[in-house]
Amino acid sequence: MIDDPGFPGLHVRPPSGWVNDPNGLALVDGRYHVFFQYNPDRPLHGSIKWGHASSTDLLAWDYHEPALINRPGTIDEAGCWTGCVVDDHGVPTAVYTAVADRASDAVVALARSDRNLQVWQQSDRGVMGPPADRRLAETRDPYVFSYGDHRYAVQGTGGPDADPAILLYGCDDLDHWTELGVLLDYTDPLVRDVAESTTWECPNLFRLDDQWVLVVACNRRGDLASVYLIGDLQPDGDGLRFVPTSGGLVDQSPVFYAPQVMLADDRVLIWGWAREIDRSDEDLLAAGWAGALTFPRELRVRDGRLVSIPATELDTLRAGDLTGPEITERAFEVRSTGPVVLELHGDEDRVVAEEPGTVRILVDGSMIEVFGESGTPRTLRAYPTPTSTWRVRGADDSTVRINRLARPL
């Protein structure tokens, strides 16, 4: 294990380097594959590749060589940015944002693999270029989905001189895309209220509990949020139109950003990027790592809201009771039937989470994921030192149980 009490050893992230958006989440032949934006050379954003981890149980992760590599002199020289993985008639195919120089000139690119998803053949040409409207300077993050008998893709877009939008493409043949206009624009008051942004990023569109759900990452002039819209997908000329009826936050914290879903048999899982907070570049370079993916969460639609709970498999991480209130373990879980407070004591004592009702809190190094009664989690960061201790305080009428967390042997 990394000798850093803040390192989230149970979460998906390699021992060193930079990690951001989850990419290409796929369940193939019984194995979960999670890709992510990755700079193995430094814990800072740059020279982005697709990192790759896989698992049969969502608990023990095998780390593989980077799947997609930014290649000098090609369409992805400056980075292999966010995208998805599609099972294209039995051939796993990555559909990703290729950046040669400037993000405004990014293209959609393809890479294909066998069913182990470890060796990829990256194309030397894009299948879709930037929009003709050059005000849409931030167009990226393709996500492929099916509707009826056809396959479509969406990308997020926007820019300093344009409203955000979700662009739609036809791609029954992944090598030949057709522009189909706008799936969702910024004119609906509900959309403007829920998904205020200068640019929409990382759109995911999927069917869940007989509803269509659009998840999108919002850049609100530097303030980041991940939101959902629930509604109906309707034919519109040669394309489709998404008509939302409700919406809200995927996670209550700006730490959580750029999520992606995995359609996994009879459920939908979601991972997000957990950003580092209040750490300078010097702090990151000293640590040697930055960023992590959240634990996987299961999504449901309830009463017009998107809610999430920890993936069922995470229950298996419980590895014995802890008595508290002082906790020195690096990874533990708190379950409380009523008000509870989680504190970090060290050089500076601080309250990390204060929850009023029934709650489940998962702590792994500096990662704290809070699942309360609202159904909308919060992802938090707090950085313990070698001399830090955690403290859990429950109200007199609360039943509090604390478990150490560890991977099963």
pLDDT of residue 108: 98
Q: So what's the pLDDT on residue 1?
A: 54
Number of H helices, E strands in the chain: 2, 32
Residue 88, both tokens: 């294209």
Contact 218, 196 (CB under 8 A): yes
Rounded (10°) CA dihedral 200, 202, 203, 206: -160
| pLDDT number for residue 265 | 87
Distance between CA 284 and CA 274 in Å, rounded?
A: 14
Mean pLDDT of 62-88: 98
Mean pLDDT on 251-255: 97
Would you name the residues annotated as active-site residues?
21
- Judged against a pLDDT cut of 80, whether residue 68 lies above it is answered with yes
Does the pLDDT of residue 162 top 90, yes or no?
Answer: yes
218: amino acid identity, one letter: C
* Domains recognised in the chain with CATH numbers: 17-310 (2.115.10.20), 313-405 (2.60.120.560)
407 contact partners, CB below 8 Å, separation of at least 6: 10, 59, 60, 317
How many percent of the chain have pLDDT more than 90? Answer: 93
Q: How far is CA 255 from CA 1, 314, 356, 389, in A?
A: 24, 21, 21, 23
Is pLDDT larger for residue 92 or for residue 395?
92
Residue 258 pLDDT greater than 90, yes or no: yes
Say what the pLDDT of residue 2 is: 82
351-397 pLDDT, tens per residue?
Answer: 999 999 999 999 999 999 999 999 999 999 999 999 999 999 999 88
**pLDDT for position 325:** 86
* pLDDT exceeds cutoff 80 at 324: no
Q: What's the mean pLDDT in 396-405?
A: 94
Q: What is the mean pLDDT of residues 280-295?
A: 97
List, in order, residues 6 or more apart from 161 with CB less than 8 Å away.
135, 137
State the pLDDT at residue 347. 81
pLDDT at position 231: 98
Q: Are 72 and 89 in contact (CB under 8 A)?
A: no
Cα(242)–Cα(233) distance, rounded to whole angstroms? 5
Condensed to tens digits (0 to 9), the pLDDT of residues 17-41 reads: 999 999 999 999 999 999 999 999 9
CA distance 156 to 313: 32
- What is the chain's mean pLDDT, rounded? 96
pTM of the shown model: 0.97
Over range 75-89, report the average pLDDT. Answer: 98
Using DSSP, state whether 104 is helix, strand or coil: helix
pLDDT tens digits for range 93-150? 999 999 999 999 999 999 999 999 999 999 999 999 999 898 999 999 999 999 999 9
CA distance 67 to 119: 7
